[in-house]
C-alpha cells in the first residue's frame, strides 16, 4: 500500500510509445536505504545532468512524500539515510551511488509545495554506468513543442525504459503543462527526464494540474526554472559569492564558458530568486501588483532586465494583496473572487489557500482558517488533500471530532496521505479514537 499515494500523484496521461524517436540510455530507478526502512520497488526515476564541470544526479522531490524515513519531516536527511542508489532496471550491473544532497533544506517541509520545486539534486559518489548525462536545454519549451518523458512506470519496470511523447501547451508558474495524444494512466513515471527533440532537458515528470482557463487537466512536469535556481545557489557556495543580480550574471557567464551557451531566463525565475528578498528589504509582509510593478521598474532601471507578470503571477499577487484585508476582517473570500474577476485572471492553486490557512492558524485566527478552506473547497473541487489542512485547522482549534472527520475524508482520496495519517495520530494522542 505504501506506493498508492505516489501512484496517485504520478498518474500521468501520456501519449503512446514513439517509435520515431530514438532515445539514448538516460534514466535510472531509485533504490533507497534509510536507517529504519528501504525502498527498492521503483520509488520514482532519476537521471544525470552535465553542468560543464561536474555531473550531478537528479530525481523528483515529491518521492519523499512516502519514500522516506519515519522521522523525516523536511528536505533534510540528517542521519536517516544509509544509501541512495540509482540503478538501470533492465541492467542492474549499471548503477550510481549518490553523495551529498545539494539542495538540502531543513526549513522546507515535505508536502504539497514540493511539486513547485520538484528536483532533488545530488553529487555523484560512484558512477558505475554507461548512462548518458543530459545537458539542460538553452531555451525553454514553447507551446507546440513535442516532448518525450523517458523512464519506467510500475507496469513497465521489468523492461527497458520507455519513451512517451507529449505536446507542450503552456506554463503555469513552475509547471510546464503538456497535452497527451493518447490518454493513458501511467503511474510511477515521476522523476523521469522530459527532453526535447535534441535530447536536452526541459522538465522533470512531476504532477498534474487543473487549468481553470480551459477547464482541463494537464500533465504538469516541473520546468527547469527551479533547477537553474539550485545550480545558481550551488555556484554561489562554490565561489563564495552573495546572491544579487551581478553574481547571477556572473553565474550565467561562467555557465556559458563551460557549456557554450547561457540559458534563457524566464520572468518566473527572476521573480522566484529576487522578489521575496526585495519585499523583505522594504518591510512588506505580502506582495501586490503595485509592489511588483515597483520592483520590476527598479530592476529594469538598475540592471536592464525586463520582467513581466503573466496571469499566473498576477493571480498570486492579487491574492497576496487580499490576504492583509482577510486577516484584518475587511475582506472575505467573495472579495477575492471579485478582485480576480476584475483583473481577468483565475483562482490560484489550492495549495495557496492551504498554506494561508496555516498562517491564519499560527495567528490564532482559527475560524478564518476554517472558513477559508471550506470556501476554497466549494470553489476548487479537485484535491482531497485540502481536508488534511482542514483537519489541522480544526485540531489546533481544539475541535478534535471535526479534525478526525476531515482527516478521514482526506484518506478516502489518498489512503496513505502522510499529513492526514499524522493528524489522526495527534487526534488519538488527545484522547479521541482515530479509527472508524
* pLDDT, position 122: 98
- Domain assignment of residue 64, yes or no: yes
How many domains are contained in the chain? 1
Cβ atoms of residues 65 and 168 within 8 Å: no
CA-CA-CA-CA torsion for 139, 142, 146, 151, nearest 10 degrees?
A: 60
- Domain assignment of residue 383, yes or no: no
- Domain assignment of residue 313, yes or no: no
* pLDDT, position 183: 65
pLDDT in tens, 151-161: 988 888 778 88
pLDDT in tens, 5-47: 333 344 333 333 343 466 778 999 999 999 988 887 668 999 9
pLDDT in tens, 301-350: 999 999 999 999 999 999 999 999 999 999 999 999 999 999 999 988 88
Query: pLDDT averaged over the chain?
Result: 90
Helix axes 386-397, 366-379, angle to 10 degrees: 160
- Domain assignment of residue 300, yes or no: no
- Domain assignment of residue 21, yes or no: yes
What is the Cα–Cα distance from 131 to 239, expressed in whole angstroms? 29
Q: What percent of the chain has pLDDT over 90?
A: 74
Q: Is the pLDDT of residue 392 over 90?
A: yes
pLDDT in tens, 161-203: 888 999 999 999 999 999 876 666 667 899 999 999 999 999 9
Q: Is the pLDDT of residue 403 over 50?
A: yes
- Domain extent, residue 19, equals 1-240
Query: Across residues 95-110, what is the average pLDDT?
Result: 96
Cell of 112: 504539497
pLDDT band at 2 (very low <50, low <70, confident <90, very high): very low
- Domain assignment of residue 416, yes or no: no
Q: Is the pLDDT of residue 432 over 70?
A: no
pLDDT in tens, 218-264: 999 999 999 999 999 999 999 999 999 999 999 999 999 999 999 99
Classify each residue of 295-304 as buried b or exposed e, where b means 16 or more C-beta atoms within 10 Å of its C-beta.
Answer: bbeebeeebe
Q: Would the pTM count as exceeding 0.75?
A: yes
* CATH code where residue 198 lies: 2.40.10.120
- Domain assignment of residue 318, yes or no: no
CA-CA-CA-CA torsion for 349, 350, 354, 359, nearest 10 degrees?
A: 30
Query: Across residues 106-134, what is the average pLDDT?
Result: 95
Amino acid at each position: 500500500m505504501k506506493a498508492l499515494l505516489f501512484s496517485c500523484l504520478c498518474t500521468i496521461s501520456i501519449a503512446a510509445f514513439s517509435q520515431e524517436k530514438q532515445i539514448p540510455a538516460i534514466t535510472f530507478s531509485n533504490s533507497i536505504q534509510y536507517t529504519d526502512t528501504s525502498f527498492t520497488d521503483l520509488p520514482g526515476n532519476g537521471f544525470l545532468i552535465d553542468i560543464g564541470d561536474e555531473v550531478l544526479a537528479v530525481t523528483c522531490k515529491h518521492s519523499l512524500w512516502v519514500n522516506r524515513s519515519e522521522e523525516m519531516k523536511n528536505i533534510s536527511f540528517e542521519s536517516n539515510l544509509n544509501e541512495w542508489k540509482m540503478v538501470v532496471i533492465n541492467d542492474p550491473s549499471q548503477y550510481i551511488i549518490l553523495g551529498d544532497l545539494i539542495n538540502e533544506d531543513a526549513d522546507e517541509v515535505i508536502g504539497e509545495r514540493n511539486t513547485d520545486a520538484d528536483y532533488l539534486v545530488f553529487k555523484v559518489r560512484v558512477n558505475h554506468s554507461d548512462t548518458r548525462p543530459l545537458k539542460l536545454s538553452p531555451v525553454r519549451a514553447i507551446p507546440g513543442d513535442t516532448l518525450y518523458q523517458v523512464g519506467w512506470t510500475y507496469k513497465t519496470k521489468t523492461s527497458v525504459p520507455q519513451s512517451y511523447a507529449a505536446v507542450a501547451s503552456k506554463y503555469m508558474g513552475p509547471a510546464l503543462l503538456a497535452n497527451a495524444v493518447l490518454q493513458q494512466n501511467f503511474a510511477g513515471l515521476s522523476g523521469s527526464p522530459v527532453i526535447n527533440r535534441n535530447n536536452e532537458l526541459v522538465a522533470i515528470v512531476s504532477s498534474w494540474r487543473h487549468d481553470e482557463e480551459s477547464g482541463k487537466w494537464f500533465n504538469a512536469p516541473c520546468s527547469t526554472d527551479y533547477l537553474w535556481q539550485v545550480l545558481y545557489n550551488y555556484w554561489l557556495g562554490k565561489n563564495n559569492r552573495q546572491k544579487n543580480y551581478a553574481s547571477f550574471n556572473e553565474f550565467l557567464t561562467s555557465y556559458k564558458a563551460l557549456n557554450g551557451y547561457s540559458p534563457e531566463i524566464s520572468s518566473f525565475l527572476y521573480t522566484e530568486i529576487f522578489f521575496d528578498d526585495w519585499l523583505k528589504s522594504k518591510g512588506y509582509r505580502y506582495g501586490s501588483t503595485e509592489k511588483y510593478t515597483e520592483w520590476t521598474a527598479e530592476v529594469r532601471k538598475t540592471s536592464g532586465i525586463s520582467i513581466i507578470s503573466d496571469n499566473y503571477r498576477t493571480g498570486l499577487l492579487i491574492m497576496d494583496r487580499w490576504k492583509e484585508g482577510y486577516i484584518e476582517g475587511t475582506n472575505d473570500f467573495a472579495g477575492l473572487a471579485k478582485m480576480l474577476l476584475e483583473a481577468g485572471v483565475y483562482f490560484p492553486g489550492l495549495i495557496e489557500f492551504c498554506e494561508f490557512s496555516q498562517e491564519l492558524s499560527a495567528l490564532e485566527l482559527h475560524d478564518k482558517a476554517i472558513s477559508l478552506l471550506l470556501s476554497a473547497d466549494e470553489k476548487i473541487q479537485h484535491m482531497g488533500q485540502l481536508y488534511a489542512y482542514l483537519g489541522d485547522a480544526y485540531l489546533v482549534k481544539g475541535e478534535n471530532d471535526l479534525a478526525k472527520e476531515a482527516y478521514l475524508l482526506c484518506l478516502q482520496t489518498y489512503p496513505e496521505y502522510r499529513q492526514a495519517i499524522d493528524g489522526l495520530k495527534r487526534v488519538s494522542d488527545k484522547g479521541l479514537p482515530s479509527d472508524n
